[in-house]
Amino acid sequence: MSCTSLSGARVSGPVQFALPQAFLLLVLIVPVILVLRRSARLARASAAALQGQGPEPAYFMARMVLGGLLMAALTVVAARPYVAYEKSASFVFVVDVSRSMQARYSCSEPTFLERARRVIRDTVDALPEASVGIFAFDRFAFPVTQQTTDHAYIADVIEHGLYVGLMLEATQTEIANALSVVAAKKRRLPEIYGDVTHAILLSDGHVSGDFRRRLQEPFAQLADAGIKVSTVGIGNPEATPIADTVSGQCVNQLVEVSGDTVKIPLRADILKLIATETGGSYYTETETGRLVEELRAELTRGSVADAGSGGPRRDVSNIFLAIATLALLGFVYMPVRFAKT
């Protein structure tokens, strides 16, 4: 039996537990209740001896319920609850980290690369069931992550592992080489990339020379590997200058070569050609929703093909930790409230 989570991911069943033996801790609820009951008797006896009015029985009952709920919720947290998503196909991001991705009009604006990071982050967040990998490229290309469903790890790489200068002298954009590397990785490492069916290329598409000729071989390699490429154009309608950096800090001075300001155009024509020739689609950076829909459709097809197999997991202990926190607050606050009344 499967259902769909709020994010749209298909959950393969109810909440499961990685350490079910932790439920043995529930026996500790018994001594806790006995201590609370003894405390209630002593409180009533003390109030009677002092000819005062003791707490109502409902007060002690509420404290026992809150104490039991606190212990039960903490026990569930110790059992490491999770939900499992249906096994899905895999995809990789291929991210341009060449010098052109530093383009922006001024230091107050995000760079092209920062905008690409946002697209990746939004896509990954919307697909918690997905197995994701990231490749970076300028002149050269290589994977900067493993293929993983650990999205906390992916988020850390997006934030700290993608930057211009990741490779020495990042001045060229060799998209053809990057696509060849992705196809080669699937062919040579099927145990890691064998399920990869889709690559998402994020770039301004700013390449020089006879790009059509250079792309022909990668297109054939991708087709042989069974990988289609969707492209996301990162850039502005008009050519964008590169704000210079000094000691890693942006300054509003623009980069110049031979007295001319370097300006980076968005080559949507090249990116659309890549998508068309490989069976993918072209998106602008504001169309993340459409990209997610396409990927989810592909992931759903993958989960049907692998029906019954285990997929990625998402920890849900934070829900029970919140319940434990509320129970603890109520348990502590009740005597304070009673003392005021």
Q: For residue range 89-145, what is the model confidence (pLDDT) as tens digits?
A: 589 999 999 999 999 998 999 999 999 999 999 999 998 878 899 999 999 999 999
Q: Residue 338 pLDDT more than 80? A: no
Whether residue 114 sits in one domain with residue 152? yes
Q: Residue 18 pLDDT more than 90? A: no
What's the token pair of residue 106?
Answer: 């001024």
pLDDT band for position 188 (cuts 50, 70, 90): very high
Whether residue 191 sits in one domain with residue 42? no
User: Who contacts 61 (Cβ-Cβ below 8 Å, separation ≥6)?
Assistant: none
Q: Which of these, 144, 122, 142, lies nearest to 133 by C-alpha position?
A: 144
Q: Roughly what angle, to the nearest 10 degrees, separates helices 211-225 and 175-188?
A: 20
Please report, for the chain, how many H helices and E strands are present, in that order. Answer: 10, 17
Whether residue 192 sits in one domain with residue 330? no
pLDDT band for position 303 (cuts 50, 70, 90): very low
Whether residue 259 sits in one domain with residue 175? yes
Q: Which of these, 319, 314, 322, lies nearest to 125 by C-alpha position?
A: 314
- How does 133-171 read in b/e, with b if 16+ C-beta sit within 10 Å? bbbbbbeebebbbebbbebeebeebbeebbbbebeeebe
DSSP 204-234: -----S-HHHHHHHHHHHHHHHT-EEEEEE-
Whether residue 57 sits in one domain with residue 142? no
CATH number at residue 185: 3.40.50.410
Q: What are phi and psi of 182, to 5 degrees?
A: -60, -45
Q: Residue 245 pLDDT more than 90? A: no
pLDDT of 233 reads 97
**260-285 per-position pLDDT tens digit:** 788 999 999 999 999 999 999 999 99
DSSP bridge pairs for 174? none
**36-93 per-position pLDDT tens digit:** 788 777 877 776 677 666 667 777 788 888 888 998 999 999 998 887 665 555 899 9
Whether residue 118 sits in one domain with residue 220? yes
What's the token pair of residue 289?
Answer: 């929703």
Whether residue 318 sits in one domain with residue 286? no
Write down the pTM of the prediction.
0.67
- Domain limits for position 286: 88-305
Domains in the chain, number: 2
* Pairing state between β 196-203 and 256-257: unpaired
Whether residue 233 sits in one domain with residue 162? yes
Percent of the residues in the chain that have a pLDDT greater than 90, as a whole number: 46
Q: Which of these, 40, 71, 34, lies nearest to 58 by C-alpha position?
A: 40
Average pLDDT over residues 239-263: 78
pLDDT of 203 reads 97
Whether residue 265 sits in one domain with residue 152? yes
* Pairing state between β 240-241 and 131-137: unpaired
Whether residue 208 sits in one domain with residue 192? yes
| Residue-averaged pLDDT of the chain | 84
pLDDT of 136 reads 96
Higher pLDDT, 320 or 257: 320
Whether residue 110 sits in one domain with residue 17? no
Whether residue 218 sits in one domain with residue 69? no
**136-182 per-position pLDDT tens digit:** 999 999 999 989 888 889 999 999 999 887 776 667 889 999 999 99
